[in-house]
Amino acid sequence: MEWWPMNMAFRKRLNRYIVAYANAIVILVLTIFVLIQFFAYRGIIYSDLIKDVNLRAAFIAQKIQGIEGADETGLIWENTFNSKLVAELNSLNGDQNSIVKLRILNLARDTKEWKEIFSSAGSFHKTLSTGEKQVASLGAWLFPVQKEIWFNGEGYVAECVADIRTKNNSYLRVVADIEANSFIQQQIRVGILLILLFAGITIILILQYRLLFLKLYKPLDELTGGMKLISQGNLDYRIPVEHRDELGSFIEYFNAMVGELKKSQDALEKELLVTKTQREKIFKTYRDIIFAVTHGKFLLVKESKLPFYVEEGRKIKEITISQSEDVGMARRVSKEVISELNPSHQKIQQVLLCISEAATNIIKHAQKGIFSINKLDNSSIRFIFRDQGPGMDFNHLPSMLFFKGFSTQISLGCGFKLIYTIVDKMILSTSKHGTTVVFDIVFSSETDNQQECCMFPSA
């Protein structure tokens, strides 16, 4: 079930990405909204500034049209249209947008060129701080202001132009530079407010994502990781409880459940240990009794001791037993080996019958197995049958061994008794992993007379 934790991990990562992307989209939309609001407000205050500039130009033109005897020398302008007019014009506008510079040009009748006949300088009503100038400069670089507004070295001004015709049919042009510092300051204030709004919402989204991760995703990760460790058998692990909320209560209940499972596991392990000890004692007693009753001819061994007997000697042949034809092959190979070692052996047909019985039982009860022949020395051969079937029941072993004709679904039955009667030595190992039957044939008559006294290595 490895796919389940992997799938859960993928889903958690996907949820994080979805939340992160959703927050990014919200921030992007918010950025667009802030920019739209900024440019909309900027357009409004710029429109108001241009209206004010145009009104100034019209008012100045109206004043100039009432002047008598204007000529191109500029003397009348110095005497009658001096800086007091600029001060008067500024006073009419209160605290907003002073006239920083006023110039009056006259159109020459002969050259048709504009010639300056009057110039008067004023002052800024509002001055920009160094920080405001830097912000305005950066803003002008990022978001260029309209061409009618520029920085003259001291502050920002907007130029207004008005052409008029006087009573003596002279053509004049009024050029006035109107203070635009208030326009810049308003933009800065609005920009700061919108930036603060943007930063506040962004921080809220980041904190929301962070809190969501810390309060939900991180505990879920720990819970999933803990469940995986516990499912692998680590019942000593406990998931840390970092928050006293519903999820924290769930983790506490989960840890308590794992604790109960640990107690049950410990109790079960103790019972299994006792049972295992008892089974080992029963097995040892069972083995020793059968070994004594058979005078050492039959040995029952545990699976862990089996390699000693299977690997003893030199392997001559090995055949896979899976179908009825393999039984005949096992008989032929065995006959060849026995004939090479002792062609005059009297029980050769009986030995071949044992091989047929063991091989047939592999096909019948385990479907597949391995038959091998080991040469122990010049006078004895070991035949080994191994399968991966369901194993044998020890409770039936005495009946199978000593009572002719006894049979169960997974036993050798009559064949087991037959093999035990014919062979010189027999070894059996059976478990849920399969059954291994080993028997030796000894050709030396001297060995035959002494085989009852032979002892096997400790099992």
CA 136/CA 308 separation, integer angstroms? 93
Contact in structure between 439 and 426 (CB atoms under 8 Å): yes
Say which CATH number the domain at 304 has.
3.30.565.10
pLDDT in tens, the chain (459 residues): 444 444 555 666 666 667 677 777 877 887 788 778 777 777 777 777 778 777 777 777 777 666 554 444 444 555 555 555 656 565 655 555 677 888 888 887 777 888 888 777 777 877 888 887 777 777 667 666 565 677 887 888 888 888 887 767 778 888 888 888 887 788 788 778 878 888 888 887 777 777 766 666 667 777 777 778 877 778 888 877 776 777 677 778 888 888 888 888 888 888 888 888 888 888 888 888 888 888 889 998 988 899 999 999 999 999 999 999 999 999 999 999 988 887 766 788 899 999 999 999 888 888 899 999 999 988 899 999 999 888 877 666 776 666 655 554 444 444 778 888 899 999 999 888 889 999 999 886 544 444 443 444 444
* Secondary structure element (H or E) that encloses residue 140, with its range: helix 130-142
Choose among 92, 288, 102, 281: nearest CA to 177: 102
Tell me, yes or no, whether 10 and 153 share the same domain: yes
Whether 179 and 306 share a structural domain: no
Is position 273 within any domain? no
Q: Does some domain include residue 179?
A: yes
- The pLDDT score that the predictor gives to residue 73 is 47
Specify the number of domains making up the chain: 2
Q: Within a domain: residue 265? A: no
pLDDT in tens, 292-323: 888 889 998 988 899 999 999 999 999 999 99
Q: Kindly state whether residue 334 falls inside one of the protein's structural domains.
A: yes
In a domain, 247, yes or no: no
- Single residue among 149, 171, 196 that ends a domain in this structure: 196
328: containing domain: 294-453
CA-based angle 197:202:206, to the nearest 5?
A: 150
Whether residue 184 is found in the same domain as residue 303: no
* Contact present, 375 and 313 (Cβ < 8 Å): yes
- pTM score, whole prediction: 0.44
The greatest distance separating any two alpha carbons of the chain, rounded to the nearest whole angstrom, comes to: 162
Which of 150, 166, 196 terminates a domain? The answer is: 196
Does residue 341 form part of some domain?
Answer: yes
Residues 9 and 142 in one domain: yes
Residues 135 and 22 in one domain: yes
Same domain? For 183 and 310 the reply is: no
Cα separation of 236 and 242, whole Å?
A: 19
Boundary (domain end) residue, out of 171, 196, 221:
196
445 belongs to a structural domain: yes
Measured in degrees and rounded to the nearest 5, phi and psi for residue 390 equal: -75, -5
What pLDDT, in 10s, does the model give residues 134-157? 777 776 676 665 656 778 878 888
Calculate Rg over the CA atoms of the chain. 55
Task: Decide if 350 is inside a domain.
Answer: yes
